[in-house]
Amino acid sequence: MGLSRPTVRKHIITVDEPKYKREQPASPKFGPFEAQLTQWLIEDAKLTRSRRRNGQRLYEGLQAVGYEGAYDSV
């Protein structure tokens, strides 16, 4: 199975399932602009698919209001 003996032994002894916490990654540059992007996405959801902004247009719109982060964060 590809598991080491100590790992198997540890899981046999434990009674409870392991609990994992997922942390939200920090977005210091994107944080102040998240509300604006969310608003645009809500507005675009009401439009037809061909009239919606694509990722590049959303990125350019955020740059126009002062966003200095990377495209892939958007």
Tally the domains of the chain. 1
- pLDDT tens digits, residue range 43-67? 999 999 999 999 999 999 999 999 9
Q: Report helix, strand or coil for 5.
A: helix
Check residue 73 and give its pLDDT: 82
Q: Is residue 39 part of a domain?
A: yes
- pLDDT tens digits, residue range 10-39? 888 888 887 888 887 777 888 888 899 999
Containing domain of residue 52, as a range? 26-74
Q: Is residue 8 part of a domain?
A: no
String of DSSP letters for 6-73: HHHHHHHH--SPP--PPPPPP-TTTGGGHHHHHHHHHHHHTS-GGGS--HHHHHHHHHHTT--S-GGG
Check residue 15 and give its pLDDT: 82
Q: Can you give the pTM of this predicted structure?
A: 0.61
